[in-house]
Amino acid sequence: MGNPFLRSSPGEAHFFDNDENYALGADHYLELMPEANEFHYVFEKTPSYFTLKKVPSRIAQFKKNIKIIAILCDPVKRTLSHFLHVHANKIKITKNKERKEVHLHPDATIIDVLGSIFSKKSIDYLKTDKFNPQKHQAARNEFLRYLEKHDDRKPHNFVTRGAYAFHINIWKKYLREDQMLFISGSDLSQQPAKTVMQIQDFLGVPKILNDNHFFFNKTSGFYCLQSPGKHKPDCIGAHCGGKGRSKNATLSENTNYLLKRVFGTIKFDLDEALNRTFNY
């Protein structure tokens, strides 16, 4: 993050979400962490922790006063970015299938996923521009029933990971509200200094980073952080743009609209879970 009082582990630890790693115990997990002294705050970044049902209880048991931070991006953009990330990795791993993978299009996969979550009746309703309270509630209930019944799995998690309220409500069973911070992806990319100040305040670390450490990169279109003592800046917008994967990629207009309607069925749940109107 750039604050010298924060130390991050390299890569994603995948300790609390991976049963084999978790079985190795807390000492193994601590070995993955960087060296730190009593003034440092140590953290790690494993995105899948947020959406796996078994993780919140494991983390709560590990350390009583632990804190979590989640960046919540526009769920439609998150869906596309997730798809592109998965298939970019497949291209790297399986070079002989590169041509096939490059031509895969997200629309067909996402439509298939939605068809296995929602009834045809609900899909037909969500495709319209009309609002019907009963049909809206029926679609919401179908989404929640699917989430209750199934854990995080591919390819459905292209969509289900964007059901933020459902996942937050599980976390709220194990952690206090003052242990959780949910950041808007648009706030982070458009008002990075203000957001980073909020993060520093939440963590209780000295507010080293401020407006003077951010600049707008016209080439990338993102704000960048020039951390004290570092030569290379970090671009903030990459967090919700999938490291640039989805900045210029698009879904079809119909799929994009359908996803907006899908996530619209549970938007009030998110506002209720966070006790505020949340803007992605």
Half-sphere exposure of 150 (CA within 13 A, CB side): 18
Q: Where do the DSSP E strands lie in the chain? A: 6-8, 41-43, 68-72, 180-184, 214-217, 222-225, 234-235
- 133, 215, 222, 235 from 219: Cα distances, Å: 45, 12, 8, 11
- 163, 218, 230 from 256: Cα distances, Å: 16, 27, 39
Is residue 164 part of an annotated ligand binding site?
A: no
Cβ atoms of 270 and 125 within 8 Å: the answer is no
Find where tokens 């609900």 sit: 122
Is residue 257 part of an annotated ligand binding site?
A: no
Q: Which residues are annotated as a binding site for 3'-phosphoadenylyl sulfate?
A: 81, 223
Question: Which residues belong to the annotated binding site?
Answer: 81, 223
